[in-house]
């Protein structure tokens, strides 16, 4: 190598060295200014995201007992806008859900405003809830269509069933879900999984046919991302007494229940994720299971049959506790307590604020006295929180 080439080579090495040095200096300066960026990224890569169970456990652990008990109660409200009564219920009792009725609905804009107001207030500074509300509606179709002021009433289940095509149940459920979601409603208390009802509320008097339609309706709700409710466990089709008025006894053997009433419920339970739906329990008495207590107050029905035998691990909710079948036979402070002791996770009480207050206070008093254990409350609230994490948050 001659002197000229050597000089050029040394000059190139010198310039390259200076460039690398400056580059290292810039990188060092950047890392020095924000060392947290690298460390945070590394930490994020090393720490896996929390599972649904872990998230639920953290939320439950952060709640007071008053807040937990409130999550276990779903109420109705009066009026078509957020008023002081509904504010008080949300603020004072940490209520977990609202079931709307036609009395609450006037127009689409009004309904959308109401649901937004409810959620905003529940999670705002005054009420301070850690979780959104469940906001639900009974939109079965046919004569049970609470939102008919703004929602075209779906066909009744029996009309769909008579069409002979279970796919129509899926289509109807999906359409209904999409409309309800536009108005801030996340829960539809449908489909009816009863048989032999003799009216338009069930798909069929044949267990297997009803099961096929109920299963496809569940598919429709799940594809739309809407929470639904199988009702009225373990089946009210044989009853000829309106449980809104009085209690009824369903004289069917356990074998008869297995062969008939339970078939549509089994078409969903064990086949769908339990975070996606409620099972709503009726107020009828089934002597073959429990000769003394309505299903919504019966450990044999809710814990023995639904939990243990059918294996349901999701949220169990009662039918409305203001219905005569139970309200005529016990004070409200007892009804909610008995339901939870028997296995319910949530109690539904929908009409009078005084009754709703009594149910909440009865539950809270039962926990304070030890009649309901904190562990039992945590078990239910964990299921409720899991469902809210999966769908509402």
Q: Which two tokens stand for residue 270?
A: 């064990």
Q: Catalytic: which of 319, 320, 345, 358?
A: 319
Told to judge if 202 belongs to the known catalytic residues of this protein, a careful annotator would answer no
Q: Catalytic: which of 78, 102, 165, 244?
A: 244
Told to judge if 319 belongs to the known catalytic residues of this protein, a careful annotator would answer yes
Residues 352/42, Cβ–Cβ less than 8 Å: no
Of the CA atoms within 13 Å of residue 99, those in its CB half-sphere come to 24
Catalytic residue positions, numbered: 244, 319
């Amino acid at each position: 190598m001659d002197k000229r080439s050597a000089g050029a080579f040394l000059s190139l090495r010198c310039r390259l060295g200076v460039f690398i040095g400056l580059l290292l200096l810039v990188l060092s300066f950047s890392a020095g200014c924000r060392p947290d960026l690298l460390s945070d990224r590394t930490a994020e890569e090393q720490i896996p995201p929390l599972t649904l169970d872990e998230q639920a456990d953290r939320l439950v652990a952060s709640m007071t007992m008053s807040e937990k008990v409130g999550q276990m109660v779903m109420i109705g409200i009066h009026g078509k806008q957020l008023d002081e009564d509904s504010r008080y219920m949300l603020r004072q009792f940490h209520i977990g859900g609202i079931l709307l009725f036609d009395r609450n609905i006037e127009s689409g804009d009004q309904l959308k405003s109401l649901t937004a107001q409810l959620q905003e207030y529940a999670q705002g500074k005054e009420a301070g809830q850690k979780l959104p509300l469940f906001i639900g509606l009974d939109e079965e179709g046919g004569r049970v269509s609470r939102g008919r002021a703004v929602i075209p009433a779906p066909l009744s289940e029996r009309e769909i069933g008579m069409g002979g095509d279970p796919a129509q149940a899926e289509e109807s459920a999906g359409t209904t879900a999409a409309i309800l979601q536009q108005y801030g409603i996340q829960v539809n208390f449908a489909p009816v999984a009863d048989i032999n009802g003799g009216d338009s509320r069930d798909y069929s008097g044949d267990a297997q046919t009803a099961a096929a339609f109920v299963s496809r309706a569940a598919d429709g709700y799940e594809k739309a991302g809407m929470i639904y409710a199988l009702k009225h466990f373990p089946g009210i089709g044989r009853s000829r007494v309106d449980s809104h008025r009085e209690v009824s006894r369903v004289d069917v053997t356990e074998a008869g229940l297995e062969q008939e009433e339970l078939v549509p419920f089994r078409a969903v339970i064990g086949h769908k994720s339990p975070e996606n739906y409620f099972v709503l329990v009726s107020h009828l008495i089934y002597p073959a299971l429990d000769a003394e207590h309505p299903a919504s107050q019966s450990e044999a029905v809710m814990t023995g049959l639904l939990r243990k035998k059918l294996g349901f691990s999701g949220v169990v909710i009662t039918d409305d506790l203001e219905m005569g079948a139970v309200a005529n036979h016990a004070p409200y402070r007892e009804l909610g307590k008995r339901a939870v002791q028997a296995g319910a996770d949530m109690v539904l009480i929908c009409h009078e604020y005084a009754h709703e207050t009594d149910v909440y206070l009865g539950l809270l008093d039962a926990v304070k006295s030890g009649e309901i254990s904190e562990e039992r409350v945590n078990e239910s609230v964990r299921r409720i929180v899991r469902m809210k994490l999966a769908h509402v948050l």
